[in-house]
Structure 1
Amino acid sequence: DMPPTGITVVTGFLGAGKTTLVNYVLNADHGYRIAVILNEFGAELGVEKMLVQDKKGGDDDAAVEEWVEMNNGCVCCTVKGSLIQTIDSLMERRARSGKKFDFILLETTGLADPGPVAQELWVDDELLEEDGAVLDAVVTLVDASNIAKQLREGKEAALQIAHADVIVLNKLDLVSESDADEIERTLSTMNAEAKIVRSTRSVVALEHVLNQGAATGRGFWAKGVERYMPGNVAASAVHDAGIRTVCLAVEGRIDVRKFETWLEGLLWEGTKLAVLRAKGVLFAHDDDGATEAKKILQAVREVYEITPGPPSEPGERELNKVVLIGRGL
């Protein structure tokens, strides 16, 4: 049984370096087979010439009309119909050729809020069951030289940071070392869960971006919560976007039904506060015959899921931890 193919959603403000990252994936000699799904082919990607030549091949598959096979074995296509349909046809086409993708990379437009896209991919069970694909991580590129201004002027950049599993702090050649450190502190206050990777011209080791662990289980697994302890992050007054990370922790086993009631009130009825992402590790009362007490919580906006967690380590401290990332917390 093959492990599922992880889908990485790449987001970031206009000019943050998404296209440069996609170009790197499509042209570098990294040894992975990656399918890149673009909203549209931009002139700056240099794929249009190849498209014209590709079409002469007389391919009869209309669902993914614009499909380019790159020299390094990666594939590039545009969204046709819905996102799920595009992934469907991509996986079917790949299955017919007998070669599996290692990863799927989905590039979003610069002003896009990644929440709905992440939700759509995450809650679609058929995607996993029929296509063998699963949401792996949201990766947000941040332009170090412009992020302070972007956070002041609108909420899109803050939303993109709040939803991230990995933040690529890019264009570091344009800022001083001390500015870079200050920006990183701001990002950590907003989203203490995300792994921050520094880069120049979007060159990152792909293992920092791809395969963040979702493909090992159902849905993207809240591995960051395991290492995250309350009090790690000092509150900062640097940004006024109002998005920050809060960690709640309580010792001992909890009643999951009561926890769900509390969580639903928070996710569904909160007016003053908005939870954008939540992750957690819970230790449940073992009243339903389950042998493993450890559970994993994941939420994107109002959609949440509590699933069986990895086995507890011998003598592991039963500390329930819930990390909330959002506004007005």
Structure 2
Amino acid sequence: MGMNSIDGTVLVTGGAGYIGSHTVRSLREAGREVVVLDSLELGRREAVIDAPLVVGDIHDRDLVTSTCHEHNVTQMIHFAAYKAVGESMEVPAKYWRNNVAGSVDLVEACLASGVHDIVFSSSCSVNGTPAVVPVTEDAPIHPESVYAESKAMVERILYWYGQTSGLRSVSLRYFNAAGASFDGRIGEDWTHSQNLVPLAMKALLLRDRRLKVFGDDYETPDGTCIRDYIHVADLADAHVKALDYLGRGGRTVALNVGTGVGSSVLDVLKATAEVAGESVPYEIAPRRAGDPVATFADPGLAETLLGWRAAHGLREIVQTAYAWHRSEVRRHRAG
């Protein structure tokens, strides 16, 4: 290896999506060359801003290989995946084919192109409902949905490619990504989202529905589920630092990426009301299958290995999300 892998280009699959587009911006701000591969089925072309965009599929080995060669790709971040838990239980084959088999095709094409550093978008859902919180990386792998299982499988696949092909990878197990960019340029499109923060903003800003709160009878202080909400800007920063870690010769590892703070559904609604000056209309609905009761991260290992820790909390998440969604609503009304 004459060249350090961090001197080359980063291939970002799914880089037109929510977390992907924020990470592309962080990479550009860090001075990295980037090329995005996205099918645009769920991504938005305008979210990529100034990075080159290749429209295509992770299954297309020829396209991946030619993209790697043309752009001098030396590292990859792999976001491209379907991520709706409910849908994964209804149409599992879609998730096995795209998230699992697609990742195998992608890794094979990258290896054939001499790319050996991969940062993978995994999920805290690989642990299911953890027996102990905060969750550490050695918690049992216990997926409770096809989606979560697809992430756990790709982690294992990457591990074995490390044994057989010298691939090195960092699997980042995200907790609940939320918020929007601080300059208001990009955020989380609520059209396909099933996440609490955008749905709360939708109920607040459109005033045409009540937010469904799934269950208020859990064994938690206020009866609603507890999650670790992490600002998307912090999450993007973790990806940049993970690439640097691999560039320094770091070994394959899976890391929790969260704040270490658990917030209930009602905590999020309270924070939203404080920021917006009006409360989110909601109703209590039955519990949802596959929802863990309480989970939040012990982010200590990510800090030790990557020198990364979350800089923002729930308030900044809600402030940036509210500002972005409000400007989007105005933009659509004006348009």
Fold-level match, TM-score > 0.5?
no
Could you say which structure has the higher strand fraction? 1
TM bracket, shorter-chain basis: 0.3 to 0.5
TM-score, normalization: structure 1? 0.36
Q: Give me the TM-score of the superposition, normalised by structure 2.
A: 0.36
